[in-house]
Amino acid sequence: MSGVHVRSWPAQLLIVTGLVTSFAVPWLIVRALADHRDRQWIASGLSAYEINEWRENGFNDVSDAIRWRNARFKAPGALLWTQEGWDNADEAVLWHEADFGSREAKRWREQGFGAPDARIWRDAGFLPQDARRWKDAGVSPSDAAMKRKKGQEPG
């Protein structure tokens, strides 16, 4: 055997380098993208806990989270409102401050009421559809309540 002595360590080094690179490059790309996304969240002024809470509740866009937070919602509450189709935090907060839940507010809004008007009718004991009929007849909430007690119908 006259042989050629092949050294195995360069081949092994090449294999190890290839394996490390095949893991490291994608990991670095994903990490860079995550850092960019996190930079936007951190720049928003939210604490790490708040960032986590908003993300866990499905708010992946920092500007959406900030709009809802600035409207004085916490992440779980904002999620309830968005699940009911409310995409305007400023409008939702008016209903929330008038003591409406997201579903109830949606029913009143579907009948054409704004938050302050809906609260007056609701406090007078009306459901959205009934309030709409009385209001369309030109009757005030207090008069409608009295007429209803007497068994009268709108119109």
Rounded-to-integer distance, Cα 71 and Cα 92, Å: 8
Q: Tell the burial category of 107 from Cβ atoms under 10 Å away from its Cβ (0-12, 13-18, 19+).
A: middle
pLDDT digits (tens, 9 = 90+) for 30-89: 777 766 777 888 888 888 899 999 999 999 999 999 999 999 999 999 999 999 999 999
Look at residue 1 and tell me whether its pLDDT is greater than 80: no
The two three-digit tokens of residue 17, written as one number: 């380098």
Q: Find tokens 């007078």 and name the residue.
A: 124
Taking the C-alpha atoms of residue 112 and residue 115, their distance in angstroms, rounded to an integer, is 10
**Per-residue model confidence (pLDDT) at position 5:** 63
Q: Which amino acid is at 75?
A: A
Encode pLDDT of 89-116 as tens digits.
Answer: 999 999 999 999 999 999 999 999 999 9
Cβ atoms of residues 102 and 92 within 8 Å: yes
Structure confidence at residue 137 as a pLDDT band (50, 70, 90)? very high
pLDDT of residue 46: 86
Residue 87 exposed, middle or buried by CB count within 10 Å (0-12, 13-18, 19+): exposed
Does residue 8 carry a pLDDT above 70?
A: yes
Residues 6+ apart with CB under 8 A from 148: 125, 134
Q: What is the value of pTM for the model shown?
A: 0.71
